[in-house]
Amino acid sequence: MSAALFLAQRLTAAILAVAVLAHLVLIIAAERAGLTAGAILARTHHNLVLLAFYVVFVVAAAVHAPIGLRNVLVEWAGLQGRGLDLAMAALALLLLGLGLTAALAVYAA
């Protein structure tokens, strides 16, 4: 793993540690409060704070996950080279696209 990937993975891990915790607390709080899907969407509608939070969450996950998976594939499956890098870049874009689509959909709903 290059120093740049190492740094990116550690930085995004720090973000994800907080983001995952906040996400779980949010889910549990909403569930315990007995909110319906409609009530939740009413609260997320045009909520810029939540949008910003989930955009940061999605970007961090889209960077973090492919680096970790790449490391696993290098060490456990012996894969390497440009093909692997391109596949991981594609995975990052997929995660980014799906995540941002979801975050924007909840914001705009």
Partner 1 sequence: MSSSPSGGQPLAVSISRGRGERFDEFAVPRREHQTVLDVVTEIQREQDETLCYRFACRVGMCGSCAMIVNGQPRWTCRTRVSEAVDRKGRLRLEPLRNLPVIKDLAVEMTPFFDKWRDAKGFFEPGAAPPQDFVKVAPSSPQRQAADEGIECINCGVCYAACEVVAWNPDYLGPAALNRAWTLVNDERDQGQGARLAAVTAAEGCQSCHTHMSCTELCPKALQPTYAIAGLKRLALRRAFGRKPSPDKSPDQSPDRQG
Which 11-50 positions form the footprint of partner 1 (CB under 8 A)? none
Q: Identify the residue whose tokens are 């990116």.
A: 8
Among 1, 40, 87, 91, binds partner 1 (CB under 8 A): 1
Query: Are 73 and 28 within 8 A, CB to CB?
Result: no
Q: Is residue 4 within the footprint of partner 1 (CB under 8 A)?
A: yes
Query: Are 70 and 84 within 8 A, CB to CB?
Result: yes
- Whichever of 2 and 36 has its CB closer to partner 1, that residue is 2
67/12 Cα distance (integer angstroms): 10
Which 74-103 positions form the footprint of partner 1 (CB under 8 A)? 74-76
**Which structure tokens are listed for 49?**
């704070």
- Whichever of 4 and 33 has its CB closer to partner 1, that residue is 4
103/106 Cα distance (integer angstroms): 5
- Whichever of 42 and 79 has its CB closer to partner 1, that residue is 79
Q: Which spans of this chain sit near partner 1 (rule: CB under 8 A)?
A: 1-7, 10, 74-76
